[in-house]
Amino acid sequence: MPNIALEAIGIGVAFESASGRVDAIRQIDFALRRGEVLAIVGPSGCGKSTLFNVIAGLLKPTRGSVSVGGVQVDQATGHVGYMLQKDLLLPWRTVLENVTLGLDVRGVPRAQSSEIAMKLIRAYGLSGFEHAKPRTLSGGMRQRAAIMRTLAFDPEVILLDEPFSALDFQTRLLLQSDVRQIIIEQSKSAILVTHDIGEAVAMADRVLVLSQRPSVVVSIHEIHLPRVTRNAVEIRKDPVYNDHFTEVWADLHLGANA
């Protein structure tokens, strides 16, 4: 389907343990639309990280499949980019060199990779810091560099695995707005895995709620908030934000007790 960036069909995951077979995911189906941010929330231990690893192609599901642009994930090398809880910037490389890291690994000529990186650095608030080492940057600046590194090799889908959880609350709010805006401006599709309902509602176009383990999809909420001009601080004053928060919380509670 032309409007679908990523599709998960009948995903099930089971692990073998000393005490026998353990089901982590019973069945999960969803589609990520092109150009949208889809947030995934669920009770602690419900299998969000397991699902993330399946989507990323790091773990083969017991059942089902994931495709990106119609291509199976295990065949779609380079189609998915990652932004993780830790920025994982290499301390001996400058901001510019960290942003070009993925391009360097792919053998892109240095002049070309530097040009791509500098466009991102100028566009998203790190101009003047391109030759700085990560230790001199704030947490928010480091995460900006991390998202630029992800964007530099132009993946079709970006996976955000609780990318702001290690930051202070003020920086988290600022980056929620910034990263969402960057994703929209770069015409990317993204999946955000988070335990924070407020973050999910503030950043996402839809929120998918999972049940406790073995997880299934409890519900998917369409978020009816401004598509482009969505400030993570101001949006929390909107009654619609509070309505969505309450609805997602209710389904999360339902899923936790399923």
Q: Which domains does the chain have, with CATH numbers?
A: 4-79+155-256 (3.40.50.300), 89-154 (no CATH)
Query: In the predicted model, is pLDDT for residue 80 greater than 60?
Result: yes
Specify whether the CB–CB gap between 180 and 160 falls below 8 A. Answer: no
Percent of the chain with pLDDT over 90: 36
pLDDT at residue number 75:
58
| Better pLDDT: 191 or 155 | 191
Which parts of the chain are beta strand (E)?
Answer: 4-17, 20-33, 37-41, 63-68, 71-72, 80-83, 157-161, 189-193, 206-210, 215-222
**pLDDT of 248 over the 90 cut:** yes
Report the pLDDT value the prediction gives residue 87, as an integer from 0 to 100. Answer: 77
| Mean pLDDT computed over 47-64 | 87
Residue with tokens 């990263």, as numbered in its chain: 179
- pLDDT at residue 16, as a whole number: 82
Output the average pLDDT for the chain: 87
Res 1 pLDDT > 60: no
Under 8 Å between Cβ of 190 and 158: yes
* CA separation for the pair 153, 174 (Å, rounded): 25
Name the residue among 237, 57, 252 with its Cα closest to residue 159.
Answer: 57
Decide if pLDDT at 118 tops 70: yes
Write down the pLDDT at residue 227.
Answer: 76
DSSP state of 175: H
Tell me the pLDDT tens digit for each residue of 143-180: 888 888 888 888 888 999 888 877 788 888 888 888 88
